[in-house]
């Protein structure tokens, strides 16, 4: 598909857009969001009033503050492929206040007036992985955790949990998510039980475990699914029993981790 938009009614703080082989040109315009973009192929030019035009190449990422007049268009006669992520500015501000990094608030135009371009393969990979996940049939809680983590990565708020010993709440949280992986665990409750903000909870959990809390919970569900399939459990009942919202979500999560559908795995196991 040449162009795709993605929103989630359960998580109205983002909109994602992907376009391929686009020749569309835009008039100068604004967004009320913090806009994060990346060039997948081709080249374009980012024009911002009062700022020298920024040439963008494949692999470049760019941040555009809320309310900043801009236009990004392909080279004359050319085409390009790109992805955009639009984040609610108030939500980003709240996350940064949770993190203690409000002094670097990227969504306050008074402090961050101009766009920023990065030629950093790591930034490009992070945004690409996130957009891929946002377009996938994942639960809002999972997408929220990924977005929270992304804000820290995007704004160079490196996690510091690696420098600390394992926090006392971690083992109990891991056991809870493993033992009751089929339940929906709101991020706010997990963070409150640990005595942390959502931001610090996710950063600390991922730093020590290697996955966000919801991704860890999904992994536990898939491990249970594999054991159940080997034991001959009916395929049609597994998705609901393991807490998946529907069969599509179950199939997607299973194939991502096993490289086979549940039906294929049951035949091979």
Task: Provide the residue-wise pLDDT of the chain in tens; the chain has 269 residues.
Answer: 578 889 888 899 999 999 999 888 888 888 888 999 999 999 999 988 777 888 999 999 999 888 887 888 898 889 999 999 999 999 988 888 877 765 444 444 334 456 788 898 989 999 999 999 999 888 888 899 899 888 877 655 434 434 467 899 999 999 999 999 999 898 999 999 999 988 889 888 988 887 889 888 988 999 899 889 888 888 888 988 999 888 888 988 888 888 788 988 888 76
Can you tell me the distance from the alpha carbon of 179 to that of 160, in angstroms, rounded to the nearest whole number? Answer: 28
Can you tell me the distance from the alpha carbon of 62 to that of 258, in angstroms, rounded to the nearest whole number? Answer: 34
Tokens, residue 70 = 């801009």
Examine domains 3-119 and 159-269 and report if their fold is the same: no
Residue 71 pairs with which residues in a beta bridge?
47
Confirm or reject CATH 2.60.120.810 for domain 3-119, answering yes or no.
Answer: yes
- DSSP designation for 102: G
Question: What is the domain partition of the chain in residue ranges?
Answer: 3-119, 159-269
Note the pTM of the prediction, 2 decimals. Answer: 0.68
pLDDT recorded at residue 193: 94
* CATH topology assigned to domain 159-269: Arc Repressor Mutant, subunit A (1.10.10)
Tokens 């268009």, located at residue: 73
Tokens 């203690």, located at residue: 100
In 3D space, the residue among 159, 263, 161, 145 whose CA is nearest the CA of residue 213 turns out to be 145
């Amino acid at each position: 598909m040449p162009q795709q938009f993605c929103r989630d009614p359960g998580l109205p703080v983002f909109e994602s857009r992907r376009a391929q082989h686009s020749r569309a040109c835009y008039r100068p315009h604004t967004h009320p969001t913090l806009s994060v973009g990346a060039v997948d192929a081709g080249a374009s030019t980012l024009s911002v009033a009062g700022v020298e035009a920024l040439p963008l190449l494949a692999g470049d990422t760019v941040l555009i503050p809320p309310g900043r007049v801009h236009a990004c268009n392909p080279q004359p006669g050319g085409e390009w492929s790109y992805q955009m992520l639009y984040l609610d500015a108030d939500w980003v501000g709240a996350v940064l206040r949770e993190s203690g990094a409000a002094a670097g608030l990227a969504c306050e135009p008074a402090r961050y007036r101009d766009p920023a371009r990065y030629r950093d393969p790591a930034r490009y990979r992070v945004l690409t992985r996130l957009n891929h996940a946002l377009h996938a049939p994942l639960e809002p809680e999972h997408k929220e955790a990924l977005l929270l983590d992304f804000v820290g990565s995007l704004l160079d708020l490196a996690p510091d949990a690696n420098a600390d010993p394992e926090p006392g709440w971690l083992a109990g949280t891991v056991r809870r998510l493993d033992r009751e992986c089929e339940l929906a665990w709101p991020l706010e409750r997990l963070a409150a039980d640990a005595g942390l903000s959502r931001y610090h909870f996710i950063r600390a959990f991922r730093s020590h475990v290697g996955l966000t809390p919801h991704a860890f919970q999904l992994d536990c569900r898939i491990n249970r699914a594999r054991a159940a399939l080997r034991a001959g459990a009916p395929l049609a009942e597994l998705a609901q029993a393991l807490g998946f919202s529907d069969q599509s979500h179950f199939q997607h999560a299973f194939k991502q981790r096993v490289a086979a559908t549940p039906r294929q795995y049951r035949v091979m196991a």
